[in-house]
Structure 1
Amino acid sequence: MVRFALTVVRHGETRYNKDKILQGQGVDEPLSATGFRQAGAAGIFLSNVKFTHVFSSDLLRAKQTASTIIEKNKFCKDIVIQYDARLRERKYGIAEGRPLNDLKAMAKAAGEQCPLFTPSGGETLDEVRARAKDFFEFLCQLSIEEYQKEQAVQDMVGNGLETLEGRPVFPLRNHCSGIELNSDTDRAGKMLNANILVVSHGAYMRNWFGYFVLDLKCTLPSTLKKSQLSSVSPNTGVSHFIINFENGDMNKPEINCTCLNQNDHLADMNTEKV
């Protein structure tokens, strides 16, 4: 069985986020001071997780968030962050750089609901979902290749060509339920072929998670409310998934969500006077 963990984090706050101005792809704002603090808090929250791969949108706010998270990590300070345009925010066309209320007014004038409305020059939800699906299939293929590499090494060991103590189990703390995965118990069942961090954007993530739930029948935490599924992640909100698929069959992934858009790591920040 191929098995990998996927942690998805929204970027930290920017000045435009605070002012409720659409950024999309055309406005490449840096993180605000608050955004850097949020990213640092997320980094501390994830500091005990040994990621094997890190991917980020190539927009500045996501790149700065990913870099800050990795700087706080105990295991991955030297890991190479890979930037991918497929992780960019939804493109909002003529609405980019304008207040969110302008987009709502455009949607109302067109007789459509705001989340479903596509402004001139923007991406449809189907187009965003196609990008997310393509990227997820890329991650699945990556994990299959890691699995195949491990199998090849095991074959070499079996043929007496190499000695190996065994593939490490990457430390992963499930912050949502407090369960630690390690080599002490049920080693085979908890082994990961990859442990992947992705930093992206709110509207993109909502669409991606919708694809997981509606198309791939992702299992959700019993405590999750429907309103949480349809809402945009808060800045540096953390979502975590475990993906399994039998015999490398990417058409039948089994996806389990352990937490969605969690931001408990910001609790102390929210009490600060800034």
Structure 2
Amino acid sequence: MACFGLTVVRHAETRYNKDKILQGQGVDEPLSDIGFRQADAAGVFLSNVKFTHVFSSDLLRAKQTAATIIGKNKFGKDLEIKYDARLRERKYGVAEGRPLTDLKAMAKAAGEQCPSFTPSGGETLNEVRERARDFFEFLCQLAVEAGQKEQEVHSAASNSLGTSEVKLVFPWTNHCSEPELNSNGGASKLLDANILVVSHGAYMRNWIGYFVSDLKCTLPTTLTKSQLSSVSPNTGVSHFIIKLDNENILRPEINCVCLNQDSHLVGVSAECVAPKMF
């Protein structure tokens, strides 16, 4: 059985985030000054976590966030950030570059509710979820292959992934209970891969919805329905432990350790915590 850690981070703030303007895929804004401070804070928060793989949306705000986080990581010197279009934000079509209030008005005129409303030229929630499902299945296969590779070199003096030689220090254990970790912060079961993903708010909410509704992800007992349905704040951190049956990797056992963790943003700026989008 393969087992891997998955840490998902929303990109840091852009000027359009602050002004509540939809970016989607067609607006490729850089991070704001506050956004770079948020990304720095997230990087410090995750600096002791040894990641084996890093993936990011290929949109600028995600790329800048991922580069900043890895730049702060103690083990990130040789890590390559791989950009994947499957991690892009939901496409909002004609609503991109316009205020969120315009999208709400479009939905109301169509007799629908946000976020299920799809503006002209935009993606449906099912289409976004399909992208998320495809990418997650890719990660599962990657973890299985990493586990097989580790077994092949198990007798060697060094491990190509390094996960068995280095304690995985997870900062969120101070805030959430984690059955996969021992009291010293190290993994009680060695992870075959430890993956960082940087993506976007609406995309991440759909991805987590897929985890919960389709894959029956186990959630923290303290998590409320409101927290589950809310969009992550900029640089909010979510962490999952995923166990895979090598005979059927499409039926994973997923445990959500924490969702949209934002303790690292305390003191960065009063504007850091994003409001609920819908």
Q: How big is the alpha-carbon RMSD for the aligned residues of Structure 1 and Structure 2? A: 2.1
Q: Which residue of 2 aligns with 1:250?
A: 249
Q: Which runs of 5+ in 2 are unaligned?
A: 272-278
Instruction: Report the TM-score when normalising by structure 1.
Output: 0.91
| AA of the residue aligned to 1:231 | S
Output the CA distance in 1 between the equivalents of 2:263 and 2:185: 28
Q: Which residue of 2 aligns with 1:164?
A: 157
Does the 8 A contact of 1:173 with 1:181 survive in 2?
no
| AA of the residue aligned to 2:58 | D
Output the CA distance in 2 between the equivalents of 1:107 and 1:185: 46
Output the CA distance in 2 between the equivalents of 1:186 and 1:61: 32
Alignment of 1:234-249 (within 5 A): 234-249=233-248
Displacement, 1:183?
11
Displacement, 1:176?
2.8
Q: Provide the aligned length of Structure 1 versus Structure 2.
A: 264
More helix by share: 1
| AA of the residue aligned to 1:229 | L
| AA of the residue aligned to 2:113 | Q
Displacement, 1:168?
3.8
Cα separation, partners in 2 of 1:212 and 1:48, compared to 1, 3 Å: same
Alignment of 1:92-241 (within 5 A): 92-154=92-154, 157=155, 163-164=156-157, 168-169=163-164, 170-178=166-174, 181=181, 189-241=188-240
Displacement, 1:71?
0.6
| AA of the residue aligned to 1:55 | F
User: Which secondary structure state, in structure 1, belongs to the residue aligned with residue 115 of structure 2?
Assistant: helix
Does the 8 A contact of 1:144 with 1:248 survive in 2?
no
Identity over the aligned pairs, expressed in percent? 73
Cα separation, partners in 2 of 1:148 and 1:111, compared to 1, 3 Å: same
Displacement, 1:252?
1.7
Displacement, 1:149?
1.0
Does the 8 A contact of 1:172 with 1:182 survive in 2?
no
Displacement, 1:269?
1.1
Does the 8 A contact of 2:163 with 2:193 survive in 1?
no
Alignment of 1:15-34 (within 5 A): 15-34=15-34
Output the CA distance in 1 between the equivalents of 2:119 and 2:185: 52
User: Which secondary structure state, in structure 2, belongs to the residue aligned with residue 36 of structure 1?
Assistant: helix
Q: Which residue of 2 aligns with 1:160?
A: none
Say which one has the larger Rg. Answer: 1
State the Cα deviation string for residues 97-149 of structure 1 (Å, max 9, x = none).
Answer: 00000000000000000100000000000000000000000000000101111
Moved more, 249-258 or 193-202: 249-258
Cα separation, partners in 2 of 1:172 and 1:117, compared to 1, 3 Å: same
Displacement, 1:247?
2.9
